[in-house]
Amino acid sequence: MTGIIEFFKNLPKKKCAKCGNAIVNEKADCYGNICDDCDYPGR
């Protein structure tokens, strides 16, 4: 079961799916590829 791990290891730097900025702080929550700015529900 290492296939999926290899897949993620080979991924390039994450980019926000909304604004396209590089994601510095990787999070393990369900939001996935969204940066901190876009992750704020109040904005």
The single residue among 31, 35, 40, 41 that binds Zn ion, judged by CB under 5 A, is 35
Cα gap 41→12, rounded to integer Å = 26
Does 23 engage in binding with Zn ion (CB under 5 A)? no
* Three-state secondary-structure class, residue 8: helix
DSSP code at position 4 = H
Q: Which is nearer to Zn ion, 3 or 20 (CB)?
A: 20
The single residue among 15, 27, 33, 38 that binds Zn ion, judged by CB under 5 A, is 38
Does 16 engage in binding with Zn ion (CB under 5 A)? yes
Can you read off the two tokens belonging to residue 3? Answer: 């296939």
